[in-house]
Structure 1
Amino acid sequence: MSAPCILCVAITGSVPTKADNPAVPITVAEQVESTHAAYEAGAAIAHCHVRADDGTPSSDPDRFAALKEGLEKHCPGMIVQFSTGGRSGAGRTRGGMLPLRPDMASLSVGSNNFPARVYENPPDLVEWLAGEMRAHEVTPEIEAFDLSHILHAIRLHRAGALYGNLYVQFVMGVKNAMPADREVFDFYVSLMRARAPEAQWCAAGIGANQVVVNEWAIAAGGHTRAGLEDNVRLDRDTLAPSNAALIARAADICARYGRPVATPAQARAILGLRAT
Structure 2
Amino acid sequence: MTVAPTGAETAKEDCPQLPTTLEELVATAVECEAAGARMIHVHIRDDDHAPTLDLGRLTDTVDALHEKTDLIVQLSTGGSVHDPLDQRLKVLDAGPDSCSLTMGTTNFGDDVFSNPWPFITELYQLTQERGVVPEFELFDLGHVASLQRLLGKYGLPAGGKVHVDFVMGVPGGMPGTSAALVAAVAALPDEVTSWSATGIGRSTLPVMLTSLAMGGHLRVGMEDVLTLAKGVPVEANRQLVERAVEAAAVAQRTPLSAEEAWALLGLKL
TM bin (shorter chain): over 0.9
2:54 aligned partner: 60
Residue 21 of structure 1 and its aligned partner are, at CA, apart by 2.5
1:178 aligned partner: 174
* Aligned residue identity for 1:171: V
2:214 aligned partner: 220
Indicate which of 180, 184, 187 corresponds to 1:188. 184
Indicate which of 73, 82, 92 corresponds to 1:80. 73
Residue 41 of structure 1 and its aligned partner are, at CA, apart by 0.5
Residue 198 of structure 1 and its aligned partner are, at CA, apart by 4.6
1:14 aligned partner: 8
Residue 116 of structure 1 and its aligned partner are, at CA, apart by 0.8
- 8 Å contact 2:77–2:100 — kept in the other structure? yes
- 8 Å contact 1:81–1:106 — kept in the other structure? yes
Residue 197 of structure 1 and its aligned partner are, at CA, apart by 5.8
Cα distance in 2 between the residues matched to 1:162 and 1:48? 24
1:104 aligned partner: 98
* Shift in CA distance, 80/86, structure 1 to aligned 2, threshold 3 Å: closer
Give me the CA root mean square deviation.
1.4
* Shift in CA distance, 264/158, structure 1 to aligned 2, threshold 3 Å: farther
Q: Per-residue CA shift, 1:99-154, capped at 9, x if unaligned?
A: 23211100012111010111111111111111221111111101111111112112
* Shift in CA distance, 35/243, structure 1 to aligned 2, threshold 3 Å: same
* Shift in CA distance, 136/271, structure 1 to aligned 2, threshold 3 Å: same
Give TM-score, length-normalised by structure 2: 0.94
- 8 Å contact 1:20–1:232 — kept in the other structure? no
Q: Per-residue CA shift, 1:227-251, capped at 9, x if unaligned?
A: 0011111111111111110001001
- The farther-off stretch of 58-67 and 175-184 is 175-184
* Shift in CA distance, 82/184, structure 1 to aligned 2, threshold 3 Å: same
Cα distance in 2 between the residues matched to 1:94 and 1:202? 23
What SS does the corresponding residue of 1:208 show, helix, strand or coil?
A: helix
Q: Which runs of 5+ in 1 are unaligned?
A: 1-6
* Shift in CA distance, 25/86, structure 1 to aligned 2, threshold 3 Å: closer
- 8 Å contact 1:131–1:161 — kept in the other structure? no
For 1:16-165, what aligned pairs fall within 5 Å after superposition? Answer: 16-75=10-69, 77-87=70-80, 89-161=83-155, 163-164=157-158, 165=161
Q: Per-residue CA shift, 1:185-212, capped at 9, x if unaligned?
A: 11112222xx326521110010121122
Give TM-score, length-normalised by structure 1: 0.92
Cα distance in 2 between the residues matched to 1:198 and 1:113? 25
What SS does the corresponding residue of 2:103 show, helix, strand or coil?
A: coil
Cα distance in 1 between the residues matched to 2:14 and 2:250? 31
Instruction: Tell me whether 1:245 sits opposite 2:245 in the alignment.
Output: no
Taking only the aligned residue pairs, the percentage that are identical comes to 33
- 8 Å contact 1:106–1:140 — kept in the other structure? yes
- The farther-off stretch of 204-213 and 39-48 is 204-213
What SS does the corresponding residue of 1:96 show, helix, strand or coil?
A: helix
Q: Which runs of 5+ in 2 are unaligned?
A: none
What SS does the corresponding residue of 1:218 show, helix, strand or coil?
A: helix
Instruction: Tell me whether 1:199 sits opposite 2:209 in the alignment.
Output: no
